[in-house]
Amino acid sequence: MADIIKVSATSLTTAVAGAIAGVIRESRHAHVQAIGASAVNQAVKAIAIARGYLQTDNIDIVCVPSFIDVDIGGQERTAIRFSIEVRAPAPAAGAD
CA angle 80, 82, 86 (to 5 degrees): 175
Q: What band does 94 get if pLDDT is binned at 50, 70 and 90?
A: low
pTM: 0.89
Confidence tier at 64 by pLDDT (50, 70, 90): very high
For 3-62, write each residue's pLDDT tens digit: 899 999 999 999 999 999 999 999 999 999 999 999 999 999 999 999 999 999 999 999
- Walk me through the domains of the chain, giving residue ranges and CATH numbers: 4-86 (3.30.110.20)
Rounded to whole angstroms, the Cα distance separating 96 from 91 reads 9
